[in-house]
Amino acid sequence: MLSLADLSDQDLLARTMHLAADERQATALLIAHLAELDARRLYLAEGSSSLFTYCTQVLRLSEHAAYGRIEAARAARRFPLVLEMLAEGAVTLTAVGLLAPHLTAENHRDLLARARHKSKRAVEELIAGLYPQPPVPAVLRRLPAAGCHPTSPVLLDGARAGSPAPSIAPPPRRPATVAPLAPQRYKVQFTARAETYAKLRLAQDLLRHQIPDGDLDQIFFRALTALLEDLARQKCAATDRPRGGRPAAPGSRHIPAEVKRAVWLRDGGRCVFVGASGHRCTATGFLEFHHVKPHAVGGESTIDNIQLRCRAHNVYEAELYFGPPTQTWVRETPAGYSVRTELSFQ
């Protein structure tokens, strides 16, 4: 049997694409069968009280997988177009699950067409545009300290008054939430440090004459605008009054400010690496200025020789040219970021 390690790069890519297509076809067939099985209620004769328990206990699907496939099966039974689009990869199970409650005989073709090849976030925004939700109230509340329970302590069986309190595991870290509510309106929720909370309160107080109600959206908009202007100056030498600078000295790694500005605008603030299939990288974070002709072999810091790359593709191209990384490589140190009192605003 041929080992995967023996496959060429092109064969591995081709087989992976083929397997992904096979998986989509198999998933669509499974969903079609589940839809018919559900209509006949055959799960009852198999000792399951519901299709969900049949999927998890008999078919051994995970709860998440079972829920998604049942949602898709019931949507596909009403609208067979769902199966076709799932099989060809035009929509994902996640997209179908989000759209299912909103599909009708009148709108299903249009909604499914608008969701074609869309990400989860894009489908959420599509739904929010069609079925907007009311704004959420701004909330600022303190979370319990690590190891502390938010309610009064209760002695466990066998514990005596005055004895050390049993250690309680800290609550799990809550992930940040960004969810569209309506066109141009989002719910944003995250956990902040005490220092961040103090600065937010101070900003509210200092802006009372301009923002009497302390609206969090306006405050964060102003703060982020100022931050982005500062980052633009640091990262791509953005300025309202650009001055012509001197070109970098021959052999210098320094990239002149005017080159950074021109490259950033030309590349649209996005990695411009293009794969063999013609797909351009979509990364807009961790961007770096990349020498097309490497600096180590005489590449100059000119507009024609500098392009934007995400960190991953910058390293990838360096490995293609120089081989595996060594201690002689020159790399930028990634910036560290940390965010952790809960802030929720809209």
Give tens-digit pLDDT for 93-150: 999 999 999 999 999 999 999 999 999 999 999 998 888 888 878 777 777 765 555 5
**Contact yes or no for 307/272 (Cβ under 8 A):** yes
pLDDT at 194: 85
Structure confidence at residue 237 (pLDDT) = 67
The residue whose two tokens read 């008999």 is 58
Reported confidence tier of residue 331, pLDDT bands at 50, 70, 90: low
pLDDT of residue 174: 67
Is 135 contained in some domain? no
Q: Average the pLDDT over 11-21 and give the result.
A: 93
Strand ranges inside the chain, DSSP E: 139-141, 177-182, 185-191, 287-291, 306-310, 342-345
Count how many domains the chain has.
2
The pLDDT score that the predictor gives to residue 171 is 56
Could you tell me if 140 and 197 are in contact, meaning their C-beta atoms sit under 8 angstroms apart? yes
Count how many Cα atoms sit within 13 Å of the Cα of residue 285 in the half-sphere of its side chain.
Answer: 2
- Which of the listed residues 83, 108, 130 is the one where a domain comes to its end? 130
Six-digit token pair at 147?
């190891």
Q: Which residues contact 119 (CB under 8 A, 6 or more apart)?
A: none
Domain-ending residue, one of 130, 159, 175: 130
pTM across the whole model: 0.64
Whole-angstrom distance, CA of residue 34 vs CA of residue 41: 10
Higher pLDDT, residue 97 or 214: 97
Establish if 171 belongs to a structural domain: no
Question: Which residue's entry shows tokens 């992976």?
Answer: 16
Per-residue confidence (pLDDT) for residue 133, from 0 to 100: 83
User: Minimal CA–CA distance to 342: which of 193, 231, 217, 241?
Assistant: 193
Assigned domain for 10 exists:
no
Report the distance separating Cα 252 and Cα 267, nearest Å: 23
Pairing of strands 287-291, 139-141: unpaired
Please indicate whether residue 217 or residue 148 has the higher confidence score (pLDDT).
Answer: 217
Is pLDDT at 227 greater than 80 in this prediction?
A: yes
Q: Indicate the range of 2-6, 55-59, 76-80 predicted with least confidence.
A: 2-6
Q: How far apart are the first and last CA of the chain?
A: 57
Which pLDDT belongs to residue 255?
A: 87
Q: Lowest-confidence range among 62-66, 165-169, 328-332?
A: 165-169
Q: Is the pLDDT of residue 343 over 70?
A: no
- Tell me what pLDDT residue 339 has: 41
Q: Among residues of the chain, what percentage have pLDDT more than 90?
A: 38
Average pLDDT rounded to a whole number, residues 307-335: 77
> What is the side-by-side strand order in the sheet with 342-345?
139-141, 342-345, 185-191, 177-182
If DSSP codes are grouped into helix, strand and coil, which group holds residue 120? helix
Among 80, 98, 130, the domain boundary falls at 130
pLDDT in tens, 147-168: 555 544 443 344 444 545 444 5
Residue 265 lies in a domain: yes
Whether residue 224 lies inside any domain: the answer is no
Worst-scoring range by mean pLDDT, 20-24, 137-141, 336-340?
336-340
**296 lies in which domain range?**
257-322
CB burial class (10 A; 0-12, 13-18, 19+) of residue 298?
exposed
Least confident of 54-63, 171-180, 317-326: 171-180
CB 20 within 8 A of CB 92: no
Confirm whether 306 is domain-assigned. yes
Measured distance CA(71)–CA(94) in Å, rounded: 10
Dist CA 78 CA 100 (whole Å): 10
Given this model, what pLDDT does residue 337 score?
42
Residue 341 predicted with pLDDT over 60: no
Q: How many whole angstroms separate alpha carbon 161 and alpha carbon 13? A: 65
Q: For residues 115 and 104, what is the distance between their CA atoms, to the nearest angstrom?
A: 15
Q: What pLDDT, on the 0 to 100 scale, is given for residue 3?
A: 84
| pLDDT score at 143 | 72
